């Protein structure tokens, strides 16, 4: 196995490797805590550092098979968790390098492998893991997790253990048992009912647009006008926009599905202002990007690190939609701390991506769901989609106009246009 990805990340200090028991000892200490031997360009691992005799006996028993190019572990069931997570991550790393997996998705798998290793232990043999273990593993998930987090953890963990059988690490599929299942759809609905709707009113969007810095203003309008999310805005390139026709066309990165939108005049003005006032001295890799942060970086990071747009939008939302209400409540005699807590709870989880939810919700009332799906970049697995070879651009424009009409009708009477920031 090349690499050893899980072992080699996040470690601050490495333990000192032991010396060989005697000069002629055929094995070498490896940073994983095991003894190893390279044969035919591949490393093979044996017993732990504290058992050099056991490692040697294992090497002597398998050396003929290894030198002949065979699998020394076939049928012997001695692959462990350490072997599994590193082989799995090596495979996912290859997919990432080939462009079939995003850095963020790889990071999610990496975190799942860390969780598996922490629970089962590196040296736990795969052949000894069975259904009751997975029941206890699921019970170890943090109590603060919601259904989505639980379901994602189960899906990724299942992918890791299914990989073991697919690559011959175990001679039978690993049984997960009845207690390692996704949260039911009923429980998901009940949980969702306890959370705030990820939806903005037209008046709220007007307030956000009026108070937003110029780049965030343009991105808010893109979210409501074209169903754009954080990543879509951060990756938006100038060549994607036809300013003569007010037309935006690209592939949604997440799905690889074609999408398009007719841009409102307000959106076009905001985008053009953002382009004209981009921060100078940005790296050449961002020269075609519509939006560039003050730090001369993209507004979205594929590596899963902090999302500048989410942070900027949260600050704006609290300033515009939370604090004014808190101020009025305090003036009427309410407790400031309690009032702020209640208002923050109203927008808990309602971030920039809620604009995409809002577009889908309002546009759905246009009664042209096919056109709505095209703007959103949704994957349509229906038979009709298989036969559909295109869509009239007029339908797309009508959907975008429908949402604009809703937005303009909800403009607060007292709202005045702010000067550019």
* Range(s) of the domain holding residue 148: 81-194
The pLDDT value recorded for residue 106 is 93
Q: What's the mean per-residue pLDDT of the chain?
A: 87
- Which one of 153, 177, 194 terminates a domain? 194
Same-domain status, 48 and 169: no
Same-domain status, 231 and 117: no
| Structure token digits, residue 311 | 């942070």
- Which one of 178, 194, 210 terminates a domain? 194
DSSP string, 212-245: S-HHHHHHHHHHHHH---HHHHHH-BGGGEETTT
Confirm if 49 and 39 have CB atoms less than 8 A apart. Answer: no
Q: Quick check: is 17 in a domain?
A: no
Same-domain status, 116 and 230: no
Over residues 67-78, mean pLDDT: 64
Q: Quick check: is 416 in a domain?
A: no
Tally Cβ neighbours within 10 Å of residue 316: 20
pLDDT beyond 70 at 18: yes
Q: Quick check: is 14 in a domain?
A: no
Q: Quick check: is 400 in a domain?
A: yes
Q: Quick check: is 3 in a domain?
A: no
Same-domain status, 51 and 154: no
Over residues 197-201, mean pLDDT: 92
Instruction: Give tens-digit pLDDT for 238-249.
Output: 999 999 999 999
Q: Quick check: is 90 in a domain?
A: yes
Taking Cα atoms as reference points, which of 231, 113, 222 lies closest to residue 164? 113
Overall domain count for the chain: 3
The CATH number assigned to the domain holding 396 equals 1.10.443.10
The pLDDT value recorded for residue 416 is 52
Please name the residues in contact with 78: beta carbons below 8 A apart, sequence gap of 6 or more.
Answer: 125, 127
Q: Quick check: is 9 in a domain?
A: no
First-to-last C-alpha distance (Å) of the chain:
54
Instruction: Give tens-digit pLDDT for 170-184.
Output: 888 999 999 999 999
The pLDDT value recorded for residue 387 is 62
Q: Quick check: is 7 in a domain?
A: no
pLDDT beyond 60 at 74: no
Same-domain status, 43 and 86: no
Over residues 197-210, mean pLDDT: 95
Query: Cα separation of 85 and 64, whole Å?
Result: 27
The pLDDT value recorded for residue 172 is 86
- Please report where in the chains the tokens 């797309």 appear, as a residue: 396
Same-domain status, 209 and 170: no
Confirm if 236 and 222 have CB atoms less than 8 A apart. Answer: yes
Same-domain status, 164 and 280: no
Query: Cα separation of 111 and 88, whole Å?
Result: 12
Over residues 129-152, mean pLDDT: 93
Instruction: Give tens-digit pLDDT for 154-170.
Output: 999 999 999 999 988 88
Over residues 216-225, mean pLDDT: 98
The pLDDT value recorded for residue 79 is 87
Half-sphere exposure (Cβ direction) of 321: Cα atoms closer than 13 Å: 26
The pLDDT value recorded for residue 103 is 87
Instruction: Give tens-digit pLDDT for 292-348.
Output: 998 888 888 776 667 899 999 999 999 999 999 889 988 888 888 998 988 888 888
Instruction: Give tens-digit pLDDT for 94-119.
Output: 999 888 888 889 999 999 999 999 99
Same-domain status, 122 and 170: yes
pLDDT beyond 80 at 62: yes
The pLDDT value recorded for residue 5 is 61
pLDDT beyond 90 at 46: no
Please name the residues in contact with 342: beta carbons below 8 A apart, sequence gap of 6 or more.
Answer: none
Sequence length of the chain is 421
- Which one of 10, 39, 68 terminates a domain? 68
DSSP string, 252-289: ETTTTEEEEEEPPHHHHHHHHHHHHT--SS--GGGTTB
Same-domain status, 88 and 221: no
Over residues 392-416, mean pLDDT: 90
DSSP string, 86-139: HHHHHHHHHHHHTTSS-HHHHHHHHHHHHHHHHHH-TT-BGGG--HHHHHHHHH
pLDDT beyond 90 at 253: no
Greater confidence (63 vs 205) lies with 205
Please name the residues in contact with 208: beta carbons below 8 A apart, sequence gap of 6 or more.
Answer: 200, 220, 316, 317, 320, 321
Same-domain status, 221 and 356: yes
Over residues 5-29, mean pLDDT: 77
Confirm if 199 and 354 have CB atoms less than 8 A apart. Answer: yes
Please name the residues in contact with 326: beta carbons below 8 A apart, sequence gap of 6 or more.
Answer: 336, 339, 340, 343
Query: Cα separation of 371 and 123, whole Å?
Result: 53
Same-domain status, 252 and 375: yes
Same-domain status, 122 and 257: no
């Amino acid at each position: 196995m090349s690499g050893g990805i899980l072992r080699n990340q996040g470690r601050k200090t490495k333990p000192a490797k032991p010396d060989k028991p005697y000069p002629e000892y055929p094995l070498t200490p490896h940073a994983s805590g095991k003894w190893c031997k390279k044969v035919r360009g591949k490393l093979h691992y044996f017993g732990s550092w504290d058992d050099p005799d056991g490692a040697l006996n294992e090497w002597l028993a398998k050396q003929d098979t290894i030198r002949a190019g065979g699998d020394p572990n076939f049928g012997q069931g001695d692959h462990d968790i350490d072997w599994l997570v590193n082989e799995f991550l090596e495979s996912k790393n290859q997919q990432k390098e080939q462009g079939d997996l995003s850095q963020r998705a790889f990071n999610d798998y990496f975190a799942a492998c860390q969780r598996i290793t922490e629970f089962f232990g590196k040296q736990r043999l795969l052949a000894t893991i069975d259904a009751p273990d997975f029941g206890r593993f699921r019970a170890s998930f943090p109590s603060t997790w919601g259904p989505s987090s639980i379901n994602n953890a189960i899906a990724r963990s299942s992918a890791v253990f299914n990989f073991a059988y697919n690559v011959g690490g175990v001679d039978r599929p690993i049984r997960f048992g009845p207690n390692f299942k996704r949260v039911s759809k009923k429980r998901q609905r009940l949980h969702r009912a306890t959370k705030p709707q990820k939806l903005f009113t037209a008046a709220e969007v007007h307030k956000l647009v009026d108070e937003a810095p110029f780049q965030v203003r343009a991105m808010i309008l893109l979210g409501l006008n074209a169903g754009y999310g954080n990543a879509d805005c951060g990756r938006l390139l100038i060549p994607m926009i036809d300013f003569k026709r007010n037309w935006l066309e690209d592939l949604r990165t997440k799905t690889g599905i074609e999408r398009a939108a007719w841009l409102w005049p307000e959106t076009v003005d905001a985008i053009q202002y953002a382009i004209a006032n981009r921060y100078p001295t940005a790296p050449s890799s961002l020269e075609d990007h519509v939006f560039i942060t003050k730090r001369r970086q993209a507004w979205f990071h594929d590596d899963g690190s902090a999302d500048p747009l989410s942070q900027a939008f949260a600050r704006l939302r609290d300033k515009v939609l939370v604090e004014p209400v808190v101020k009025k409540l305090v003036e009427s005699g309410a407790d400031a701390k309690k009032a702020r807590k209640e208002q923050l709870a109203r927008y808990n989880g309602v971030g920039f991506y809620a604009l995409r939810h809002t577009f889908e919700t309002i546009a759905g009332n246009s009664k042209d769901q096919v056109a709505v799906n095209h703007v959103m970049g949704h994957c349509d697995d229906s038979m009709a989609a298989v036969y559909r070879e295109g869509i009239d651009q007029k339908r797309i424009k009508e959907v975008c106009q429908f949402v604009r009409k809703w937005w303009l009708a909800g403009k607060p009477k007292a709202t005045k246009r702010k000067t550019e920031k």
